[in-house]
Amino acid sequence: MQKNLKARMDNRFATALVIACVLSLISTIYMAASIGTDFWYEYRSPAPENFSDLNKIRDEFFDSDPDEKTYNDLLFRYNGTMGLWRRCITVPNKSIWFSSPEKTESSDMITECFSLTLSDQFMEKFVEPGNHNTGIDLLRTYLWRCQFLLPFVSLGLMCFGALIGLCACACRSLYPTIATGVLHLLAGLCTLGSVSCYVAGIELLHQKLPVPEHVRGEFGWSFCLACVSAPLQFMAAALFIWAARTNRKEYTLMKAYRVA
């Protein structure tokens, strides 16, 4: 009877750990995909009548010293998308870059992206975007920095938790998985914090630079992946902690029963 009870306990804990590992793996993939893609926020605008100033558009968008107001205006006008590390606009193909100022067919459009450097990520935001004389907007500056730092902290915590889990398997003990669960909980909080900072940053930006009436802005699928990743991390954390604590408690009871 004692052997049957122990077998049922082992099966229950094994099932919980397998589910937790699957949730952890899925959330890691989702988080990595959201960091590496450019669709956290998207703008949808009518196609411009002409592209007669394409050289100017390109120079402004790929400027090494970006002006926040200038590149956001271009994002509004040219179906821009934003990720954590890149921003993109939709423009005509290079083969027709110097064509006559006629309306360009959608099939001739390509996406041009500008990759942000680490110094770009730490650049200050100003109270009035584009006006360096208005002072630094500390709230928007630190929201921007948190939104790109926290996802990496989240991934790092999950990788460290996975390493502890492997050590627990090597030691044939469930107790170290409490640390894995705690790390997944912290990772979920970091992911949730990143998503919250991004939403707050976008809302504050649109208060200072209102989106034109003919332009529609919406959160993209990269943002949705990050949103889904957070609850998966929380569920994995709960399963890891439950399995470790319950196993420890029942092991203690069985040991006391044997002594009695």
259 within some domain? no
| Single-letter residue type at 36 | G
Structure-token match 């394409």, residue found: 54
Residue 35's identity, in one-letter code, is I
Assigned domain for 200 exists: yes
Q: For residue range 170-208, list pLDDT tens digits in order.
A: 776 666 788 899 999 999 999 999 999 999 999 999 999
For 3-12, 108-117, 157-166, 208-217, which range has the lowest pLDDT when averaged over its residues? 3-12
Look at the chain and report how many structural domains it folds into: 1
Whether 256 maps to a domain, the answer reads no
Render pLDDT for 100-141 as a digit per residue (tens, 0 to 9).
444 445 556 788 888 888 888 888 888 888 778 888 899 999
- Tell me the pairing of strands 81-82 and 86-92: antiparallel
CATH number of 39's domain: 1.20.140.150
Which is higher by pLDDT, 151 or 64?
151
Mean pLDDT of the chain, nearest integer: 81
pTM of the model: 0.83
Of the candidates 259, 254, 245, the residue with the CA atom closest to the CA atom of residue 1: 254
Give the domain extent around 215.
1-98+107-118+127-248
